[in-house]
């Protein structure tokens, strides 16, 4: 019996991994009741763990789960039938409940669910967490930990967002072509935010963040597969794959931080880079590059080091010129300064950094101070470099990166004349 339960649990986990968001999107498509769909599906999974070990795993687990979940939604709607809208929902759910076909093919409405999560009426800061919960099935505590928010706070934000979807009648439909770009940008931005959270835990030591980057890539694959002609969707997936291909190389054998310039390209995932390059090529055939295409092209220019031993810094400089013009981002301007230091020398890089000194958005941004420290050291301004390293060290939360900066500062301190 124990073995049967383990087999059932594995089957349920596989179904959740493959189809959780697909089932939620289907159950909530008409009612807009995401929370109700989640509750019903949770009960369906509980029923599966109770029944599958006894009766056997069904041939179509997704259809079985859908049948049970929709019955739960019908029962819940009957209990709370208070107004005309509830009656309309009940009629739709009752229609669903009459279909007992266990071989039902569940329509894939996940893309519509993603667009609902990224609706302008949903607060920008909760879009990525909402996608992780309703499309991938992350619980509120896991999402809260990944985004460094108290579980109660995150739970409230997610509940408010789901209530907004229901109360405002937000459609689970992909917008028309003329409105697609705005909403697609919001979807991609939320996916990238999730990836960035996972990327900040490169060793996977945080159990809540461990798979976050992979899950974001999974969402990126979903959007790229469902909107294969959208260059920015392809560009984002390429960007994430390029970055993720280097994850193992970001730490040495002892766990110490290894900056990109010092990483061994042999430790990069060659197959993942090749896939990223193919995606970028497809994206570029779609026309003028957007933000994610340009950022993916930057990563591609770094990946050239696999073959030549050196990154293509002139191309990186030009790409950051384009990113600065497109986005006005201070981070793009910072990276452009780093590229200038490689193509024209540290003095040119410092001059570009000096132009950013008054930007409050960079005042507490660790990479700005680390870059400044490095360029000052290369220019021979050792005392100013040590001051910049001190600022960078104080702003860094990753122990491995902080140790790296402290070691650089220590070497510089030994070189300083007394």
CA-CA distance, 359 to 397, in Å (whole number)?
Answer: 22
Q: In whole angstroms, how far apart are CA 24 and each of 69, 159, 223, 235, 410? A: 10, 15, 17, 27, 54
- The alpha-helical segments, DSSP class H, found in 257-365 are 270-284, 291-303, 305-308, 313-327, 330-344, 346-354
CA-CA distance, 381 to 287, in Å (whole number)?
Answer: 44
Taking alpha carbons only, the member of 327, 240, 334 closest to residue 289 is 327
Task: Report pLDDT for 54.
Answer: 86
Task: Report pLDDT for 208.
Answer: 47
Residue showing tokens 């790296």: 404
Q: Indicate the pLDDT class of residue 271, thresholds 50, 70 and 90.
A: very high
Domain ranges of the chain: 2-108
User: How many helices and strands (H and E) does the chain possess?
Assistant: 20, 0
CA-CA distance, 390 to 369, in Å (whole number)?
Answer: 9
End-to-end CA distance of the chain: 75
Taking alpha carbons only, the member of 373, 389, 382, 393 closest to residue 418 is 382
Q: Coil, strand or helix: which one is 370? A: helix
Helices 34-55 and 61-79, axial angle in degrees (round to 10): 130
CA quadruple 139, 125, 217, 361: dihedral positive or negative? negative
Taking alpha carbons only, the member of 134, 186, 137 closest to residue 159 is 134
Q: Report whether 257 contacts 400 (CB < 8 A).
A: yes
CA-CA distance, 231 to 103, in Å (whole number)?
Answer: 36
Mean local confidence (pLDDT), 341-346: 96
Mean local confidence (pLDDT), 49-72: 88
CA-CA distance, 23 to 38, in Å (whole number)?
Answer: 9
Tens-digit pLDDT profile for residues 109-167:
888 888 888 888 898 889 888 988 888 788 888 788 767 688 899 999 999 999 999 88
pLDDT higher than 60, residue 181: yes
Helix (H) or strand (E) holding 244: helix 231-244
Look over the chain and give the mean of its residue pLDDT values, rounded to a whole number: 85
Q: Report whether 381 contacts 407 (CB < 8 A).
A: no
Which range is least confidently modeled, 133-142, 264-273, 335-344? 133-142
Q: Any idea of the CA torsion for 388, 394, 398, 404, to the nearest 10 degrees?
A: 40
pLDDT higher than 80, residue 326: yes
Tens-digit pLDDT profile for residues 349-364:
999 999 998 888 898 8
Q: Per-residue DSSP letters for 59-73?
A: S-HHHHHHHHHHHHH
Q: Report whether 157 contacts 129 (CB < 8 A).
A: yes
Tens-digit pLDDT profile for residues 19-48:
888 889 888 887 888 999 999 999 999 999
Q: Report whether 220 contacts 191 (CB < 8 A).
A: yes
Task: Report pLDDT for 239.
Answer: 97
Mean local confidence (pLDDT), 351-378: 93
Tokens describing residue 89 = 């929902």
């Amino acid at each position: 019996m124990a073995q049967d339960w383990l087999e059932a649990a594995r089957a349920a986990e596989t179904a959740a991994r493959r189809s959780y968001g697909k089932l939620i999107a289907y159950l909530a498509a008409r009612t807009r009741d995401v929370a109700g769909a989640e509750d019903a599906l949770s009960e369906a999974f509980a029923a599966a763990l109770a029944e599958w070990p006894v009766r056997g795993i069904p041939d179509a687990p997704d259809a079985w789960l859908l049948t049970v979940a929709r019955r739960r939604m019908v029962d819940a709607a009957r209990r709370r039938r208070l107004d005309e809208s509830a009656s309309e929902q009940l009629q739709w759910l009752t229609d669903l409940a009459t279909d007992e076909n266990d071989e039902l093919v569940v329509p894939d409405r996940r893309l519509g669910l993603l667009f609902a999560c990224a609706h302008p009426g949903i607060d920008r800061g909760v879009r990525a967490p909402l996608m992780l919960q309703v499309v991938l099935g992350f619980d509120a505590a896991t999402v809260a930990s990944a985004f460094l928010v108290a579980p109660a706070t995150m739970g409230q934000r997610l509940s408010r967002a789901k209530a907004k979807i229901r109360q405002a009648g937000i459609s689970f439909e992909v917008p028309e072509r003329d409105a697609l770009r705005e909403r697609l940008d919001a979807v991609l931005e939320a996916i990238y935010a999730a990836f960035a959270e996972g990327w900040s835990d490169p060793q996977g030591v945080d159990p809540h963040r461990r798979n976050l980057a992979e899950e974001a890539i999974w969402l990126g694959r979903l959007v790229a597969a469902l909107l294969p002609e959208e260059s920015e969707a392809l560009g984002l997936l390429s960007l994430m794959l390029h970055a993720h291909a280097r994850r193992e190389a970001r730490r040495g054998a002892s766990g110490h931080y290894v900056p990109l310039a010092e990483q061994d390209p042999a430790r990069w995932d060659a197959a993942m880079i090749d896939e990223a390059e193919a995606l970028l090529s497809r994206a570029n055939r779609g026309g003028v590059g957007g933000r994610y295409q340009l950022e993916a092209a930057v990563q591609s220019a770094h990946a050239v080091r696999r073959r030549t031993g050196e990154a293509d810094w002139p191309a990186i400089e030009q790409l950051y010129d384009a990113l600065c013009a497109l986005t006005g981002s201070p981070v793009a301007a910072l990276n452009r300064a780093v590229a200038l230091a490689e193509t024209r020398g540290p003095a040119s890089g410092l001059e570009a950094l000096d132009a950013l000194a008054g930007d409050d958005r960079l005042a507490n941004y660790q990479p700005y101070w680390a870059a400044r420290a490095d360029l000052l050291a290369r220019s021979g301004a050792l005392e100013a470099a040590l001051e910049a390293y001190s600022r960078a060290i104080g702003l860094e939360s990753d122990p491995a990166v902080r140790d790296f900066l402290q070691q650089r500062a220590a070497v510089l301190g030994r070189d300083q004349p007394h």
